[in-house]
C-alpha cells in the first residue's frame, strides 16, 4: 500500500475510533463515574461506588453487553465541585467515555453538566435536586426522586389524615434548604398551609427552643422536618421530650436504620416517604418492584457486608438504565442518549422509570412508599386509608 493511502486509511480509522469512542475497537465500552467517595458527602458516594463496581463485574462475568466488556472508570471528587469538573474533563477528553453515571451531589452535578452537554455525552446524575432536570437538558438525566416529590408524598398523606395546618422545621444544609423551598412551592396545590417555620444549623445539638415555639403555636396540626444527618434524629428526640401532640413527618433524607438507632423509641409513630428498598422484605409478593429491590439489597449486603442504602440504589438504577440503552443503541453516545430518553417501564430500586423528552427522571409519586416507624422498625402505611 502506498504511503499516503495507508496514512489516509489510518486517519479514517482514527476518526472512526473518535466517533464511536476508543472502546469500540478494543471490544470494550468505557463508562465513567465521578463520585464523592470521600469528604462530607461520602455517605452518598461510597455506596454508589461499591454498587457500580459490583454490578460492572457481574455484567462482565456474564459476557458483557452485546459481547463487549464494560470498562468502568471512577474518580473521587471529595465533594468539591471544582475537582468534579476536572475529573469530568478527564473522563471526556482523556478517557473518552461513552456515558457517565454519577455526580453524587447537586453541586458537583451542576458544575459538570455544561461539559457533558457540550461534548454530547449522556450523563445520568445521582444528585437530588430538581434543578438538575428542570429545565430539561438534552444529555442530562437523573435517577433519585426529587425533594419536591417527597413533599408531595407527605402532603398526600396529610390530605388522607385531613390535616391542613402544618409547621416546618428545616436544616440549613443543602438538602434541608432545598426541600424546604420545594415544600413551600407545592403546599398550596394540596391545600396545605405552612403556618410556622423554624430552622436549625446542621451541627446544632439541641432543637428544644424551635420545637417549643412550634408547640406553642395555635392551630398547627402536624410538623414536617426537612433535613438529613443527625439533625432530624435530635429533632425527633426533642419532639418526644417536649411531648408535642401532633404527628411528625421526616423526609427521605433520614431513610436509614441509623436514624432509628439515633432517635431510639422517640421515633415511634414518625412517618416518612422512602424508597421501597428499605422495606424490601416486607413488600407483598404481588408487588412488581419486590424482586428488583430484594435482589439488589441481597447482592449489596453480601458483597460489602454493609446495610443497603437508597443512595447505592440510585447508582444501580443509573447503571442499569444505561446498560439497557447500550444494549439497544451500541456504543455511540448520541444513540445512547436517545435510548435513555426512550426508557419505558424500567423497574429500578427507586420505582418505575418512564423517561420522555420532557421528563429526564421518569419517576412518579408511586415510587415513594409512606413508612411509619413502629417498635424501632419500618412498617408500610397502606395507601388506601391512613
Query: Cα angle at 180 between 179 and 181, to 5 degrees?
Result: 90
Under rule CB under 8 A, residue 131 binds other proteins: yes
Interface pick for other proteins out of 54, 111, 270, 322 (rule CB under 8 A): 111
Contacts with other proteins in 174-193 (CB under 8 A)?
A: 174, 177-178, 181
Under rule CB under 8 A, residue 107 binds other proteins: yes
Residues 174 and 229 sit within 8 Å (Cβ to Cβ)? no
Measured CA distances, 156 to 192, 220, 236, 385 (Å): 10, 17, 22, 11
Interface pick for other proteins out of 164, 172, 208, 268 (rule CB under 8 A): 172
Residues linked to residue 273 through DSSP beta bridges, in sequence order: 370
Measured CA distances, 63 to 39, 56, 57, 60, 318 (Å): 35, 11, 10, 5, 20
Under rule CB under 8 A, residue 341 binds other proteins: no
Q: Which stretch binds other proteins (CB under 8 A): 101-109, 152-160, 280-288, 343-351?
A: 101-109
Give the separation between CA 326 and CA 43, rounded to whole angstroms: 29
**Per-residue interface string for the shown chain with other proteins, residues 35-74, x marking contact by CB under 8 A:** ---x-----------------------------------x
Residues 360 and 133 sit within 8 Å (Cβ to Cβ)? yes
Taking the least distance from each CB to other proteins, the nearer of 101 and 278 is 101
Under rule CB under 8 A, residue 258 binds other proteins: no
Q: Which residues of 374-386 are buried (b: 16+ CB within 10 A; e: fewer)?
A: eeeebebbeeeee
Taking the least distance from each CB to other proteins, the nearer of 126 and 220 is 126
Interface pick for other proteins out of 20, 43, 59, 90 (rule CB under 8 A): 90
Under rule CB under 8 A, residue 173 binds other proteins: yes
Under rule CB under 8 A, residue 304 binds other proteins: no
Q: How far is the CB of 349 from other proteins (least distance, A)?
A: 24
Q: Quick count: other Cβ atoms within 10 Å of Cβ 25? A: 11
Give residue 187's Cα distance to chain centre.
23
**Residues in binding contact with other proteins, number by CB under 8 A:** 29
Residues of the shown chain interacting with other proteins in the complex, contacts defined by CB under 8 A: 38, 74-76, 79-82, 85-86, 89-90, 92-94, 105-107, 110-111, 114, 129, 131, 172-174, 177-178, 181
Amino acid at each position: 500500500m502506498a504511503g499516503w493511502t495507508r496514512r489516509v486509511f489510518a486517519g479514517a480509522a482514527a476518526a472512526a475510533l473518535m466517533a464511536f469512542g476508543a472502546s469500540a475497537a478494543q471490544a470494550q465500552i468505557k463508562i465513567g463515574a465521578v463520585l464523592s467517595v470521600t469528604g462530607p458527602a461520602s455517605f452518598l458516594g461510597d455506596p454508589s461506588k461499591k454498587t457500580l463496581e459490583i454490578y460492572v463485574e457481574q455484567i462482565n462475568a456474564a459476557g458483557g453487553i452485546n459481547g463487549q466488556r464494560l470498562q468502568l472508570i471512577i474518580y473521587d471528587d471529595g465533594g468539591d465541585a471544582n475537582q468534579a469538573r476536572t475529573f469530568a474533563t478527564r473522563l471526556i477528553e482523556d478517557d473518552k467515555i461513552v456515558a457517565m453515571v454519577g455526580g453524587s451531589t447537586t453541586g458537583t452535578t451542576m458544575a459538570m453538566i455544561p461539559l457533558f452537554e457540550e461534548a454530547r455525552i449522556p450523563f445520568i446524575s445521582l444528585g437530588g435536586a430538581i434543578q438538575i432536570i428542570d429545565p430539561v437538558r438534552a444529555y442530562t438525566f437523573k435517577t433519585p426522586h426529587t425533594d419536591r416529590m417527597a413533599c408531595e408524598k407527605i402532603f398526600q398523606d396529610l390530605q388522607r389524615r385531613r390535616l391542613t395546618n402544618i409547621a416546618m422545621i428545616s436544616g440549613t444544609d443543602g438538602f434541608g434548604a432545598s426541600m424546604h423551598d420545594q415544600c413551600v412551592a407545592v403546599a398550596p396545590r394540596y391545600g396545605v398551609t405552612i403556618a410556622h417555620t423554624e430552622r436549625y444549623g446542621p451541627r446544632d445539638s439541641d432543637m428544644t427552643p424551635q420545637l417549643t415555639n412550634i408547640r406553642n403555636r395555635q392551630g398547627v396540626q402536624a410538623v414536617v422536618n426537612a433535613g438529613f444527618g443527625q439533625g432530624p434524629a435530635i429533632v425527633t428526640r426533642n419532639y418526644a421530650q417536649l411531648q408535642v401532640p401532633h404527628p411528625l413527618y421526616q423526609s427521605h433524607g433520614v431513610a436509614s436504620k441509623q436514624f432509628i438507632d439515633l432517635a431510639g423509641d422517640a421515633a415511634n409513630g414518625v412517618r416518612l416517604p422512602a424508597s421501597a428498598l428499605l422495606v424490601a422484605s416486607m413488600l407483598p409478593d404481588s408487588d412488581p418492584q419486590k424482586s428488583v429491590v430484594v435482589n439488589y439489597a441481597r447482592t449489596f449486603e453480601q458483597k460489602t457486608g454493609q446495610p443497603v442504602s437508597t443512595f447505592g440504589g440510585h447508582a444501580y438504577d443509573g447503571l442499569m438504565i444505561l446498560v439497557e440503552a447500550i444494549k439497544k443503541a451500541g456504543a455511540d453516545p448520541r444513540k445512547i442518549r436517545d435510548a435513555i430518553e426512550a426508557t419505558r417501564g424500567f423497574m429500578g430500586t427507586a420505582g418505575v422509570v418512564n423517561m420522555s423528552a420532557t421528563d429526564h427522571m421518569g419517576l412518579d409519586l408511586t415510587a415513594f412508599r409512606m413508612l411509619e416507624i413502629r417498635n424501632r422498625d419500618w412498617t408500610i402505611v397502606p395507601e388506601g386509608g391512613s
